[in-house]
Amino acid sequence: MKDKLSLGISPCPNDTFMFDAMINGRIDVPFEVEVEYADVEALNQKAFNSELDVTKISFHAWAKVMDQYQLLTAGVAMGFGVGPLLISKEKLDLAKLDQYTVGIPGIETTANFLLRYAFPQITKKEVLLFSDIEAALVEDNIDLGVIIHENRFTYQNKGLHLIRDLGTVWESETNSPIPLGGIAVKRSLSEAVKQEINQIVRTSVQFAFDHPSVSQDFVSQFAQEMDPKVMKDHIDLYVNEFSLNLNKVGLDAIDHFLTEIINFNIISSVPKDHILSIKAQ
Is 258's pLDDT higher than 60? yes
**Cα distance between residue 61 and residue 112, in whole Å:** 11
CATH 3.40.190.10 in the chain, residues? Answer: 4-79+178-263, 85-174
pLDDT of 280 reads 42
Is 153's pLDDT higher than 90? no
Q: What is the DSSP string of 184-243?
A: EEETTS-HHHHHHHHHHHHHHHHHHHH-TTTTHHHHHHT-TTS-HHHHHHHHHHH-SHHH
pLDDT tens digits, 198-218: 999 999 999 999 999 999 999
Is 128's pLDDT higher than 70? yes
pLDDT tens digits, 91-110: 888 889 999 999 999 999 99
**Cα distance between residue 239 and residue 266, in whole Å:** 28
Q: Three-state DSSP class for 5?
A: strand
Is 159's pLDDT higher than 80? yes
Return the CATH fold of 85-174: D-Maltodextrin-Binding Protein; domain 2 (3.40.190)
| C-alpha torsion 31→32→38→44, nearest 10 | -40
**Cα distance between residue 92 and residue 89, in whole Å:** 9
pLDDT of 163 reads 94
Domain 4-79+178-263, CATH number (from 3.40.50.970, 3.40.190.170, 3.40.190.10, 3.30.230.10): 3.40.190.10
Q: How many CB atoms lie within 10 A of CB 190?
A: 10
Please report which confidence band the pLDDT of residue 269 belongs to, taking 50, 70 and 90 as the band edges.
very high
Q: Are 274 and 71 in contact (CB under 8 A)?
A: yes
Q: What strands, in cross-sheet order, belong to the sheet with 144-147?
A: 125-127, 102-104, 144-147, 85-88, 161-165
Average pLDDT value for residue range 224-252: 90
pLDDT of 223 reads 84
Question: Is-above-0.85 flag for pTM?
Answer: yes
pLDDT of 152 reads 86
Which of the residues are catalytic?
149
Q: How many CB atoms lie within 10 A of CB 138?
A: 14
pLDDT of 281 reads 42
